[in-house]
Amino acid sequence: MTLQLHQLSKQYGTTRVFSQVNLQVAQGEFVAIVGESGVGKSSLLNCMAALDTWSEGRVTWTGTDGQVTDLGALDETAQALWRRAHLGFVFQAFHVLPHLDVAQNVALPLMLLGRREPQRVDELLAAVGLQGLGQRLPAELSGGQLQRVAMARALVHRPALVLADEPTGNLDPATAATVMDVLQQQTREHGASLVLVTHSTGAAARADRVLQLRDDGLHPMAPAHSVTAM
């Protein structure tokens, strides 16, 4: 599969956020997106997931069967079904459901697909260092623990494309490195693609490509090996 952005632009009212964004994410590729706060990274990631609308341009998805889907041409139900089937999304603000316990939150994507795989849920909880916390409610967790619940939930159903918005933003360096290991290992294992929005040079250094979002588009950054690895 590939995800493609063609000349994408986004504005809120009369305020332009970004324009001329072109990107092709190949199968199995790990792309990091960096950029100043407020430049539109979360907005761009939301557009890639068809969770937000854009002003101009197109977002297309080419499936393993070669069929091209124009995400902007789908209605909301079809977009939701596309996300359910292909996407894992780690939200910057977690978006865990407060009335479900940790294990139920992580199992949600599986449940929506009619799958029940408690072992897989336990495997992911252990991988992100939350073993034994499955019965806790989100209110009983720290910010960094919630972030790891959000990550486990994005990976549990082995999606073809994982979009992660600052997934290490609330973590100490050691936990951040562990969580990045999980993210990379899980996506690599299933040949999934990963788009990571991050302020962390360490996390970005792991990517195949680092792109900087500016108001006039995505620009290649210096090779990752020039930054200290995490």
Ligand X SMILES: Nc1ncnc2c1ncn2[C@@H]1O[C@H](COP(=O)(O)OP(=O)(O)OP(=O)(O)O)[C@@H](O)[C@H]1O
Tell me if 145 contacts Mg ion by CB under 5 A.
Answer: no
Q: Output 44 or 106, the one with its CB closest to ligand X.
A: 44
The option from ligand X, Mg ion, none interacting with 39 (CB < 5 to 8 A, set by class) reads ligand X
Q: Output 92 or 168, the one with its CB closest to ligand X.
A: 92
Minimum Å gap between C-beta 15 and ligand X is: 6
For residues 184 and 181, give the distance between their C-alpha atoms in angstroms, rounded to a whole number. 5
Tell me phi and psi for residue 179, to 5 degrees.
-65, -35
- Give the ranges where 113-197 is alpha helix by DSSP (H): 118-127, 143-155, 173-189
SS3 222: coil
Minimum Å gap between C-beta 126 and ligand X is: 29
Cα angle, residue 102 at apex, residues 96 and 103 outer, rounded to 5°: 120
Tell me phi and psi for residue 107, to 5 degrees.
-80, -10
Q: Output 33 or 128, the one with its CB closest to ligand X.
A: 33
Minimum Å gap between C-beta 200 and ligand X is: 12
Q: What Å distances lie between residue 47 and 41, 56, 139, 160, 166, CA to CA?
A: 10, 11, 29, 17, 16
Contact mark string toward Mg ion, 40..69, x via CB under 5 A: --x---------------------------
Stretch that binds Mg ion, among 19-27, 60-68, 84-92, 210-218 (CB under 5 A): 84-92
Minimum Å gap between C-beta 36 and Mg ion is: 10
Dihedral angle computed from the Cα positions of residues 10, 16, 17 and 18, in that order, rounded to the nearest 10 degrees: 70
Of all residues in this chain, which one has the CB nearest to Mg ion in the complex? 42
Q: How many CB atoms lie within 10 A of CB 59?
A: 21
Minimum Å gap between C-beta 118 and ligand X is: 34
List the one residue out of 119, 128, 129 whose CA is nearest residue 184: 128
Q: Output 30 or 91, the one with its CB closest to ligand X.
A: 91
Minimum Å gap between C-beta 82 and Mg ion is: 23
Q: Output 190 or 219, the one with its CB closest to ligand X.
A: 219
Residues of this chain that bind ligand X (CB under 6 A)? 12, 17, 35, 37-43, 92
Kindly state the tokens that stand for 224: 């990752």
Kindly state the tokens that stand for 35: 């950029």
Binding site for Mg ion (CB under 5 A): 42, 92
